[in-house]
Structure 1
């Protein structure tokens, strides 16, 4: 993996953040800026993965990509883009994990939009892009097994978004044996079941 300096890392995470959002007019309007940012990255997996998705963006129509986005991220629970879901499911422990994200965002002076949860992979990448690289990297590393599981699920679906998630993973460096073991365990066991008396998190309504 080609090493990225902080500026390049922020640029890569900015592109990933935009690409992992819903493909609306804003995304397509930003296409030239995104391409320029990717071209400025050093050669390697991060650049190659992001460039491949931009090529797909050019080839696929907006309506087609939007339909794929909804069918993948909103309708398939195993492709959930909210990182704490993989380790905690719909349990109370997930609430505590979300607080860790919120505290990190608050410490970095980052305000979330109303109704936005901080563990969406695109939101964490945006945190890095805005300058809180250390905080965002820590959150991504702590939830790397879930991010790896998301990549594998997207690959199984044949989704081009797998490449964007793979690019984010590549910015973290090689996975440790512990991370690989945790990802395999999550894949085998699935997220924990919902605890009695706890309503499902609203973010998962679209993932059922």
Structure 2
């Protein structure tokens, strides 16, 4: 299993496939090609996830990646926000996927980072690095914010920056992250819901009040984790 494939699985919303393929994930994390400190941190993260109850792991994921916009794994949210340019960017990204035989289900958002990593894990390494280099400033800021929140997920984002740039220089981003107001507090979330009280179309909440598509729904196809781990 490639590094991009592994990181994509671990960054995705934790589902049953994660625990079902735990040994395979541990083997991939213990990659001798990685520097020893990185390998140890990656193995520790996988072991911690596997030792965590699924509901607790899912709650921790939601608390980090689904509260506020600053830690969203939807890349275009950081580039385009809610502007109309985001829609065209998604269309262009889907078309790029399709040109290389990578099809999405109707409910998958193409700019979801674990999904992008699934695609890039199937592409030549030079091409994958080039793609990630174009968004490494976003991933680096996510890494800095995750580190500021003492999240074990920070190592995954740092690995992606290293993969793209060949080095990790997050000092300026960490300083920025430390000075940012948090957008995942109850007060910030209340303000966000007031701003987004009326939403229609694909971004609207479902009838069961599940979150909008910040966490891509994958009911009609196997979850990304299952697709990635299975041979």
Q: Structure 1 residue 126: deviation in Å?
A: 0.5
Query: Are 2:65 and 2:73, in contact at CA under 8 Å, matched by a contact in 1?
Result: yes
Q: 1:46 to 1:30 in 2, by over 3 A?
A: same
What's the TM-score once normalised by structure 1's chain length? 0.75
Cα offsets for 1:7-56 (capped at 9, x unmatched): xxx61011111111111111111111111122234131653442231132
Cα offsets for 1:47-66 (capped at 9, x unmatched): 34422311321443322211
Q: 1:65 to 1:134 in 2, by over 3 A?
A: same
Aligned residues: 186
- Of the three residues 41, 57, 60, the one matched with 2:49 is 57
Q: 1:200 to 1:157 in 2, by over 3 A?
A: farther
Alignment of 1:1-208 (within 5 A): 11-44=2-35, 46-131=38-123, 133-172=125-164, 173-174=166-167, 202=203, 205=212
Distance 1:55 1:154 in 2: 19
Query: Are 2:76 and 2:86, in contact at CA under 8 Å, matched by a contact in 1?
Result: yes
Distance 2:201 2:69 in 1: 13
Query: Are 1:49 and 1:167, in contact at CA under 8 Å, matched by a contact in 2?
Result: no
Query: Are 1:56 and 1:160, in contact at CA under 8 Å, matched by a contact in 2?
Result: no
- Ranked by relative contact order (alpha carbons within 8 Å, sequence separation 6 or more), the top structure is 1
What's the TM-score once normalised by structure 2's chain length? 0.68
Q: Structure 1 residue 133: deviation in Å?
A: 4.2
Query: Are 1:17 and 1:126, in contact at CA under 8 Å, matched by a contact in 2?
Result: yes
Query: Are 2:90 and 2:111, in contact at CA under 8 Å, matched by a contact in 1?
Result: yes
Distance 1:164 1:20 in 2: 7
Query: Are 2:158 and 2:168, in contact at CA under 8 Å, matched by a contact in 1?
Result: no
**Higher mean C-alpha deviation, range 149-158 or range 75-84:** 149-158
Q: Structure 1 residue 76: deviation in Å?
A: 2.6
Cα offsets for 1:67-115 (capped at 9, x unmatched): 1111221223211001121121111122232233222211221011221
Structure 1: which 5+ runs fail to align?
1-9, 189-193
Alignment correspondent of 2:228: none
Q: More helix per residue: 1 or 2? A: 1
